[in-house]
Each structure stands twice: as C-alpha cells, then as structure tokens.
A and B are shown apart, each in its own frame.
Chain A
C-alpha cells in the first residue's frame, strides 16, 4: 500500500510528470484520430435515418459527445482544483489550466451545433430555456476562469483564485444535467438515462459512444500537450528545466 501511494505521488511533481505527458500525448492523438474517423464515418454512412428527423438528427453525434465532454472536463478541473487546494500540489493547478481551453471549446461546440440543430427542428436558433441557458453559463465559467487566472500575476494567487471559482461553479453541472427533468424546457429529456435505459437505436448509440471516446482521447491529448508548455514556462528557473532546454538547443 505504502509503495503504491509513493508511486502515485511521484507523478505529482512537474519534473517527473513532464516526460510522462510527452510520452502520452502522441498515443492519445493516435487514438483520437482513429476513433473520430470511425465515428464520423459511422455518423454519416452507417447509422440509419431517424423516423422523425430524417438525416437532420445526425448532428447529435457531435452535439451530445461535445456536451458530455464540456460537463465532464469541468468536473475534472474542479477535482484537480480541490486536490491542489488541499494538498498544495502545483501540478494539479497546471492540469486545470491545461484542460480549460478544451472544455471551453466543447461548451462552444455544444451550443453552436445545438443552435444549428434547433433551427430546422424546433424552428428557432436560440431560446432561453433552462438547459440551454445553463450550458451558456458553463461556457462563461470556462472563459471567466481563464481570464481570472491570466489576470493575476502572482502564480500562487492566480491558482487559488481560479480553483475557488471552479469549485463554486461546480453547482452548475447538476443543474445542466437535470434541467430537462426539473423544469419544462424546449430541450428534450435525456436519451441515455442514468438507470441504463436508452431510447435510441443500437447503431446510433454505438456511433455516439465511439465519438464520445474519440473526444475523450482528444481532450487528454490536448491537455497533455498544453500541460508541457505550462510546466516548462513555470519551471523555467529550475535546474531540470534548464538542462532540458539546454539539451534541445
């Protein structure tokens, strides 16, 4: 037990995590490219048309995985922030910062594809219902977090302020998820339900899950690339980083 704990903590140091991130990034890029390629092919050519929405529903294969990722990445960032606040580990805050732009990207894609889907099906680009509004708040939380961290010069203060913002904003995640259940919304209810029942054709579901896994791999790959720059930038004064830069130059 003692050994396993020590092994995990070893990677909480930026100096040991840096080479790991460098090794992981290309692996996850490869997984992401393969899965998204398969997923997109299935989205357009394999999944059957919908009985009501025809081909228009196919945007779901981007919309739903992107929405899931936007919520999940926020939870992961909040988790890293809590660990960072409690254990005072620098790397945790760096991970939060490395994930933020990807989360914001997915929140934006979710709103954008939703809008493009809403116009032909519902008859409107945008409505202020509970689901759509809370997802917009999520996008603002991401942008606000990035702006806050960038605005404070003292790194330790920036980390803590950002972490508290992330933890406060975490209440928004259950609101997004359950909004369609708690209130009357224009947005329909969840297709993939918590109790394991799914109101979707199997091929469609499989396609959506492949896309979701592809987005996962992309998120990890992007975070691993970004965290390397953040580590190097912050640890530029340390001996190991100097040696590494010297080696490359």
Chain B
C-alpha cells in the first residue's frame, strides 16, 4: 500500500464515520428540528400543551372571520385531516389568505383554541404567471366536474 492509498483510505473512512455519526445525531433529534407542529400532531397531543409552540398548516377555505372595528381575526388551520381554530390579534402578512400555508406561534387555550401572537405566511415552491394559474385552476375545476358527472 502506497502512502497516498493510505491517505485516501483515511479520508474516505473519516467521511463515512462522520456521515454515520451525523445521520445518528439527526435521527435522534428528529422531532426537535421541526419548525412547527401540524394540526394532526396537536390532536395527538404531541405538541406541548402548556407552553409556546408553532402551528403550521393551511388556512381553511371560508374560515376567516373578522369583527367590524377590531384587529382580532379568527381562522381555522387544517392539514386536511384535523383542524385547529386560531385567534390572532395583529397585522397579517400580505400572502395570508384562505387556502394558503400559514405558521402561527402561540399557545393552546384550555378550550383548544390556539392563541397566536405571531402569524407568518408559508408559500409553496410554485412560480407561474397569473394566466397560467387561472388556466390551471379552470382545468382543475373541469376535471373535478368531469369526475362528479362520471359518478
């Protein structure tokens, strides 16, 4: 074995050990690296019930309620499986809308409502011109109609 083969083996072995160690650490940290909990995890009592955490999901369509002359806004965060009602008082980001991703930071009230003190918008990885978005949602509607007619 030449000296340079030895060094090559050493570098490769080092990287493999390091990779395995990192994989084990990340695996052990698993849940702690998540930035937010989903409504399903809240329903399964995986989220901390007595202190602040973040809740992430979609704003359910038709769930946003505002009262006249008040800043407080109520909406429901869903992961299309479970729902969590949220109440928030403050300024919402521009991208906040029904059917949009959202991450709220706050605490669960005893009645199961999530009292948020910060709401961030989470957008998806799709970028397209408005015409294409319209055409796509029209196509989606047509497809849905076709399937309901088929049934």
Contact = CB atoms under 8 A, between A and B. Distances in A.
Contacts of A188: 122-125
Interface string A65-98: 0000000000000000010011110000000000
A170 interface: yes
Contacts of B8: 86
A82 to B, nearest CB: 5
Contacts of B123: 52-53, 121-122, 188
Contacts of A182: 26, 33
A229 interface: no
B35 A51 contact: no
A124 interface: yes
A53 B95 contact: yes
A183 B118 CA distance: 21
Contact of B127 (A86, A124, A189, A201): A201
Contact of A122 (B120, B125, B130): B120
A123 B105 CA distance: 13
Given A50-B128, A186-B120, A191-B125, A121 B95 contact: yes
A241 interface: no
Nearest to A193: B125
A235 interface: no
A78 to B, nearest CB: 9
B22 A201 contact: no
Contact of B120 (A57, A127, A130, A191): A127
B147 interface: no
Interface residues of A, number: 40
Interface string A26-69: 00000000000000000000001111110001001000000000
Interface string B23-40: 000100000011111100
Among A51, A53, A120, A170, chain B packs the most CB atoms within 10 A around the CB of A51
A10 B138 CA distance: 62
Contacts of B124: 188-189, 199
Contacts of B118: 123-124
Contacts of B128: 48, 50-51, 200-201, 204
Main secondary structure of the interface of B (DSSP, over half): mixed
A182 B29 CA distance: 12
Among B7, B37, B129, chain A packs the most CB atoms within 10 A around the CB of B129
Contacts of A50: 127-130
B15 interface: yes
Contact of A124 (B4, B94, B120): B120
Contacts of A123: 92-96, 118-121
A20 interface: no
B149 to A, nearest CB: 28
B48 interface: no
Contacts of A190: 125
Interface in B96-115: 96, 103
Interface in A169-211: 170-171, 175, 182-186, 188-191, 199-201, 204
Contacts of B34: 183-184
A141 to B, nearest CB: 14
A86 B120 contact: no
Given A122-B95, A167-B14, A188-B123, 17 more contacts: A48-B129, A53-B95, A53-B123, A123-B92, A123-B118, A128-B35, A168-B18, A182-B26, A182-B33, A184-B34, A186-B120, A186-B122, A190-B125, A201-B128, A201-B129, A201-B132, A204-B127
Interface of B: 4, 7-8, 11, 14-15, 18-19, 22, 26, 33-38, 56, 92-96, 103, 118-130, 132-134
